Amino acid sequence: MLFMASPVAGAAINTNRTKVVGTGLTLKCSIDRETLGLSAEAAKEWQQHTEREFRLWAGKKQNCDALGLNNFESLQQLALISWLMNGDSFALIKQGQPTRMSPYTLRIHLVEADRVATPGKMAGSILGFGTEGQNPDNHNRIFDGVEVDSGGLVAAYHIRNTYPFQLAAEETKWQRVAAYGERTGLPNILHIMNNERCDQYRGVSYLAPVIEPLLQLRRYTESELMAALVQSFFSAWVYTENNPSEMPFNEVGDVVGPGGESYAADEQIGENEYQMGPGTVLHLNPNEKVAFGNPNIPTAGFENFVKTISRMIGADLELPFDVLLKEFNASYSASRGALLEAWESMKMRRAWFVDDFCQPVYEIWLAEAVALGRVKAPGFFDDPLLRAAWCGARWIGPVQGQLDPLKEAKAAVLLINRGIKTHEQVTRELGGGDWEANVEQVKRENELLRQAGCLDFAGQQNENALLNEKEGADD
């Protein structure tokens, strides 16, 4: 697998995982209180209660994962990596048994993309698999396991119990999973994918456009490594000017000793054999000289080749060279520009992922929470408009990296003072938290400091003094 064999490919995948999801996207409820007719205090109370209930389900792996292996944050990481490597990933919506620790039955089962395939009998293939087929029951067409109706709408997915070319003891069988439940209208399976073309039903790997450059880079790196390894075998050479008729150095074959005994040449330890080691002092025979190897590895153009190919790969993947290889040797402005350019693609990729995975899972969970009576949401099942208002949410994740936090903070203060950005916007961009929660926490901390007779470290005087410091020149 290219992801496992190429460090540059692994860096691209892991960088996206770290920046898009990180330790996990956190739910922040954001209901439409005007549509719901709620006061600010009532809306805040409902949101805090719902977030606590969601953490009850999402925080434990046995509560949310059908396999009992990952909590919801880890499921996000796994789904994203699978999406980037394979082009898409699938999440089955299953029902488990409530426990004493969790009243919810919702379970998420992530399915490898290779398992979603067209059944062989429907594709007319004697090999057991095929790309395109037709469902004989309803005459729907099937594209790589995705069944669509006559209008092109996705109707179902076909999932096999084994992987392609797997030598399994059990017989390969397919299960048809309808895209949506007939009674609830909720999705039975989530397809995490980013479309790049019209009428596209399966995704394309994130690394697909740069497979050839990655392979060339890997081959060149392996050849350089092999050349260095071969040359390292030869540490020194001994040149001799002996008569050609005499026994050559390390002759292969039997050697006859002075007493007429015969033994193998490689077993001979005599004046023609030298052994090297730490602290060894050797005395050469007359007409002998030693020459040490001087391997020219890596070649002069190796580093430039690696950087050039990496820049080409990064440009296609929307990862600047500095971010891809974690090499920030340029000026502050150039490095910040690289981070900003990469961050734009990260934000877009996070929006895709939230729409395909996080938000649908939350809406399915919220429907169960309302049905169980653990979350009160009047009109949730009666009016689609009210349902959409109750389901409003934001997903908070890793923020853009900062090369100089002081400069970033000064710029943020200026933007807030000029009304260009709000405190909440700056908080999300720089810290990724919730501004209102931060204000309440700071209020409690300052109260404790005053009670203890300590200084208020968040005082305005200290802040103004810091912001008025003379800013040094950029690198």
Give tens-digit pLDDT for 194-226: 888 888 999 999 999 999 999 888 888 888 888
Q: Could you tell me what percent of the chain has a pLDDT over 70?
A: 79
Quote the pLDDT of residue 442.
86
Predicted pLDDT at 107:
96
What pLDDT, on a 0 to 100 scale, did the predictor assign at position 418? 84
Given pLDDT bands bounded at 50, 70 and 90, which one contains residue 443? confident
In this prediction, residue 464 carries a pLDDT of 58
Q: Which residues contact 159 (CB under 8 A, 6 or more apart)?
A: 90, 92, 111, 115, 116, 145, 174, 175, 177
Q: DSSP code of 66?
A: T
- CA separation, residue 170 to residues 130, 161, 167, 175, 365 (Å): 20, 9, 9, 15, 34
pLDDT class of 265 with cuts at 50, 70, 90:
very low
Segment 389-418, tens digit of pLDDT: 999 999 988 887 776 778 778 888 888 888
Average pLDDT of the chain is 83
Encoded tokens for 12: 């691209």
Q: Which residue has the higher pLDDT, 420 or 148?
A: 148
Predicted local confidence at residue 234, as pLDDT: 61
Mean pLDDT calculated for residue range 262-288: 60
Give the mean pLDDT of 234-252: 60
pLDDT at position 126 is 54
pLDDT confidence of residue 474: 45
pLDDT at 439 over 80: yes
Average pLDDT over residues 70-94: 94
Query: Residue 425: pLDDT band by 50, 70, 90 thresholds?
Result: confident
pLDDT at position 395:
94
Model pLDDT, residue 54? 97
Is residue 291 predicted with pLDDT exceeding 80?
A: no
- Give me the pLDDT at residue 365, please: 97
Distances from the Cα of 318 to the Cαs of 197, 313, 326, 333, 346, in angstroms? 19, 9, 14, 18, 9
pLDDT at 272 over 70: no
Say what percent of the chain tops pLDDT 90. 44
Q: Please state which of the ranges 106-120, 370-384, 438-452 shows the lowest mean pLDDT.
A: 438-452
User: For residue 238, what are the contacts with CB-CB under 8 A and spacing of at least 6?
Assistant: 249, 274, 284, 288, 289, 290
Residue 65 has pLDDT above 60, yes or no: yes
Examine the pLDDT at 472 and tell me if it is beyond 50. no
Q: Across 153-157, 241-245, 344-348, which has the greatest mean pLDDT?
A: 153-157
Per-residue pLDDT of 136-167, as tens digits, reads: 899 999 999 999 999 999 999 999 988 877 77
- Average pLDDT of the residues in 60-64: 93
- Give the closest residue to 471 by CA, choosing from 423, 409, 389, 424: 409
| 3 state SS of 190 | strand
249 pLDDT exceeds 60? no
Task: State residue 458's pLDDT score.
Answer: 46
pLDDT tens digits, 299-342: 777 888 888 999 999 999 999 988 888 888 877 788 888 888 88
Q: What is the pLDDT of residues 106-142, one digit of tens each?
A: 999 999 999 999 987 776 665 555 678 888 899 999 9
Going by pLDDT thresholds of 50, 70 and 90, the confidence category of residue 244 is low
pLDDT at position 39: 93
Instruction: Give the pLDDT of residue 233.
Output: 67
Each domain of the chain, given as residue ranges in start order, spans 2-210+345-395, 404-475
H helix runs in 19-167, sequence order:
33-36, 40-58, 61-64, 72-86, 120-123
**pLDDT confidence of residue 277:** 63
Per-residue exposure over 294-315, b if at least 16 CB sit within 10 Å of its own CB, e if not: eeeebeeeeeebbeebbeebbe
